[in-house]
Each structure stands twice: as structure tokens, then as C-alpha cells.
Structure 1
Amino acid sequence: MFQVDIIEQCKQNNRKAQLQLYNQYCNAMYIVAKRFLKDAADAEDAVQEAFIKAFEKLHQFEAEVTFGAWLKRIVVNKCIDVLKSKKHQLVELNEVHLKVVDTAKNDKWLVEDTVTLNDVKAAIGKLPDKYQYVVMLYLIEGYDHQEISEILGISEVASRTQLSRGKTKLQTLLTPQKNGTRY
């Protein structure tokens, strides 16, 4: 059965097709949610709520992007809602998804070799929410500024500004200290 057929059947409220679509995407969406939410139960809840919303709004899906990308945006929005409501500190990161040091684009965005993944996690967790969300969506999830602006309900300029400021704060937090001062 082709994915288009499954989606069309889901639009007709076919429970079997919905279960098949859920089974196809639930693990990947849980991984996305877990990157945003520390608590496994919160991540599971966010994924469940995202699927409910996706099935309710499936008539709006027009295949301009893949179903997985469309669903991922819903999951990310649900995670952000959870974070905003609980004011959680982020994040469980996976080293594979971390692309903080992007030397090809920005030579000044280098950090010491002694900086560990745990240091980066802790530093991201210390960023103000508005920077945290943009940094995570851009550097970790790979969204561009247009997508971030739509997800967070901010302008693309605000997205770029918050990313720049977030990266500056993140780099400051990752700069080693010597005798209590950063060098």
C-alpha cells in the first residue's frame, strides 16, 4: 500500500490505516520529542497529542512536504508547548544530531577541544527560552529561519537575531574559565 493511499484512508477515518501510519512514524517522532523533553512520559504524551492533532487536521495535509516532515513540525510544536507550560530545562541530545561547531560556515564558532557533549547540553540548558528554542530548532533539528518563524510565531528576522544571540551566549558559556574569568 502506498503512503498516499494510507493517508487517503486515514482521511476517511479508517482506523486500520491510522494504526499503520502511527506505527510507521511513532518511533521517529518519539526520538524528536525526546530531544526536546527530558522526561520520557512527557515525550510520549507529546507524540500522542501530536498524532491526535495530525489525524484531526489531516484534511489540511496537501503533500507540499512529506508526511513525516509535516508530522515532525506538529511534534516539535507540541514539545515547545510542553516546555513553555512547564518551563522545563532542555534537553537530551544525541551526539549524532549535534552540529554546534560548524566551521565551514563560521570560523569564529570554534570551541576548545576540551568541551564535551555534556558541556554543550548544560550550556544550551542555561540559555533563555527564546534563544534555546531557536538554537535547538536550527542547530539540532535542522530547520531554516522561515520554518522556525512559522513554528514559533516570530519573524524570520527575529529567528536570525535570536539564533545569533543564542550562539554568542552559548559560545561564551562554552569558553573555558581560568581563575574565574573567561579567556
Structure 2
Amino acid sequence: MILKSLVDIVKGCKRNERISQEKLYRQFYPGLFALCRKFFDDEQDIITALNNGMLNVYKNIDQYDSAKGELFTWAYTIVRNAALTHLRNNSNKPLNVEITGAIENAIGHNPFKELDWGDIYYFLGKLPPATRAVCTLFYIEGFMIKEIAAQMELSEGTVKWHLNEGRTILKKLLTKKDIY
């Protein structure tokens, strides 16, 4: 049977057909791999987060409603949440570091504004995992500080600290490259 459309693929996934699941995986792999790459350096972590997310997509495919949005957007959200869970569960450093006092300048200058995607991935890769995740969600994904705090189970002060830490590290790196 030749699968002609995404509708056919979704129907096949709902019936637990391996060929449909593989087709969906292959179709979404490039975009979802790029998403996970924003959070991890190690290819094994990237693949693990992606596979865990896709497993959740397959398990919950019955909950997908095409009237509410595109399948890729729905899968993207599930895989992003799986990446954050993997980051939380496997981080060498505790993510929940309380910082007293708000760091007001944490949301100032966007260090990625004038870079291309290859450069952004390169510089994000230089940040510690938790800081990279916060900066990715804030600068790339456009999440608000409250949303990041809820997603990553951090206090808002800790999110602001990670944003400030990320900007400080990135400023040093970008200054060396004459970009900042």
C-alpha cells in the first residue's frame, strides 16, 4: 500500500502500522532533529530525546485533532517537551538553583539577532545544557519567562539567571568573533 498523504499516515499510525510510523518519523525527522539539537551537543542525547518524543507522538496520536493545528506543530511540541524532560532527568548540574533577586537586564539585547542558523547552533553549543535550553526557549522559540519556568520546573529568578549567564557567555564569544 502506498501512503499518499499525511492523512493516510495518521490513520495508519492510529492502527499501529509500522510502515506509517516509519513514514511519519522520516518525514518529520529533519525538523525535529534540528529542534533537539538546540538542547544537546551529544548526538546520542539528541536521538534519545527525539525517539522518546516520537514514541509519545505514536502513543497519543488519537489525541491529535487536525482542526486545532498542523500535525508537525503538535509533534514538535511533544518532542520539545520530551527534550526538556530528558535534559532535566540527565543533567549533571541541578537545574533548580535558586537565585535571590531578579536580574532585570536578563532580557535585554538578543545576541542572536544578526546571526545565521549555523552560527546560532554553534554558539548555543558553547553554553551549559540548562542555560542553552533556557536561551533556546526564550530567544529562538519565543517563550516568556513564566512559560519557561513552568516548562522546565524552575523559578522565574533562575530562568532570568540562566538568560543573563547565557548573554554573558555569548557576549564574550561574540566579542572574540567581532560579532557583538
TM-score (normalizing by structure 1): 0.62
CA distance in 2: counterparts of 1:119 and 1:30, whole angstroms: 18
RMSD: 3.2
Structure 1 residue aligned with 2:89:
85
Give percent identity, aligned residues only.
Answer: 19
1:14-42, CA deviations, whole angstroms, 9 ceiling, x for partnerless residues?
22222211111123212211221111112
Q: Is the 8 A contact 1:134 1:162 kept in 2?
A: no
1:31-77, CA deviations, whole angstroms, 9 ceiling, x for partnerless residues?
21122111111211221121111100111111222211111122222
Structure 2 residue aligned with 1:138:
138
Q: Is the 8 A contact 1:22 1:51 kept in 2?
A: yes
Q: Is the 8 A contact 2:40 2:125 kept in 1?
A: no
CA distance in 2: counterparts of 1:60 and 1:166, whole angstroms: 34
Q: How does 1:75-154 map to 2 (within 5 A)?
A: 75-88=79-92, 109=109, 121-122=125-126, 124-125=127-128, 129=130, 132-140=132-140, 142-145=141-144, 148=148, 151-152=151-152
Q: How does 1:24-43 map to 2 (within 5 A)?
A: 24-43=27-46
CA distance in 2: counterparts of 1:48 and 1:173, whole angstroms: 31
Cα distance change of structure 1 residues 172 and 47 upon mapping to structure 2, 3 Å threshold: closer
Letter in 1 for 2:136: M
Structure 1 residue aligned with 2:164:
168
CA distance in 2: counterparts of 1:33 and 1:7, whole angstroms: 23
CA distance in 2: counterparts of 1:119 and 1:9, whole angstroms: 40
Aligned-pair distance for 1:11?
1.0
CA distance in 1: counterparts of 2:92 and 2:29, whole angstroms: 23
Aligned-pair distance for 1:150?
6.4
SS in 2 for 1:36: coil
SS in 1 for 2:136: helix
Give unpaired runs (5+ residues) of structure 2: 94-106, 112-118, 173-180
Q: Is the 8 A contact 2:149 2:159 kept in 1?
A: no
Give unpaired runs (5+ residues) of structure 1: 90-105, 177-183
Q: Is the 8 A contact 2:57 2:78 kept in 1?
A: yes
Q: Is the 8 A contact 1:73 1:151 kept in 2?
A: no
CA distance in 2: counterparts of 1:4 and 1:69, whole angstroms: 15
Letter in 2 for 1:73: T
Q: Is the 8 A contact 2:52 2:82 kept in 1?
A: yes
Cα distance change of structure 1 residues 55 and 168 upon mapping to structure 2, 3 Å threshold: same
